Structure 1
């Protein structure tokens, strides 16, 4: 079955301040979540993908995330819904809960801070090719208080700046 056609215009246009910088990146991550390649993400695929990101997420939380992203309520997340979620969660208007959810995915040990090691681990699982040294540079570029980690406020500023 072909992947759902997306109505998002200009697939290579940047998404200012977003975690996923372009539609190409959104599609790449969508395909990683869509394990069977049917063009939609089931609740099982969502649970598996989020589990791979290192966090233990309850079934209730998985259902909450699914219902938040699955706008048409058909039980699946299509590419349009996935792209819209990423666009909305990276825009400056609202999205604080979405930002917290994104932060929590990277904060593997749940200590309220993202370390270079945690960032590296999550990016590797998402298929990104970057070294631990690259992740250290990314962390230090947004580490306002100089503690070697990114806290939620620093993460929020990084994700919402354009």
Structure 2
């Protein structure tokens, strides 16, 4: 097993506090609260939704590789503030510095905003401006 896979396994086990083989929102919220300040539950839900391919609301071992990339990029982001962390996580999930309209809807939904997006994509400045309406920092 390569070093990166070993690290992923170790971190998965840190998140999966109940040993179920699945990481749920409460386990992620607990981990993030322990390691990072000002990380609201809505942001936790977004991180899950970005990596949750089967839509069951939890991250399994197969989905964890994507989740790991998203978390790693988010927590290592040089730009602080929740909006920047959300942009970083979303751009990693998109595998692009442009955020699709569909992905923007997903982000907004996690923060309780239900709105149809007609725009095809958002660059970083547009994305940050759009989400600044409901994320103060």
The two structures have a TM-score, normalised by structure 1, of 0.44
Cα-to-partner distance string for 1:110-137 (whole Å, 9 max, x where unaligned): 48xxxxxxxxxxxxxxxxxxxxxxxxxx
1:41 to 2, 16, 23: 23
Please give the secondary structure, in 2, of the residue aligned with 1:68.
Answer: helix
Structure 2 unaligned segments of length 5 or more: list them: 82-137
Within 5 A, what are the aligned runs for 1:1-150?
12-13=1-2, 21-86=3-68, 89=69, 99=73, 101-104=74-77, 110=80
How many angstroms apart in 1 are the aligned matches of 2:36 and 2:72?
Answer: 18
Residue correspondences, number:
81
State the shift of 1:22 in Å: 1.7
How many angstroms apart in 1 are the aligned matches of 2:66 and 2:39?
Answer: 22
State the shift of 1:84 in Å: 3.2
Please give the secondary structure, in 2, of the residue aligned with 1:38.
Answer: coil
Larger radius of gyration: 1
Residues 36 and 22 of structure 1, relative CA distance in 2, 3 Å threshold: same
Structure 1 unaligned segments of length 5 or more: list them: 1-11, 14-20, 90-94, 112-162
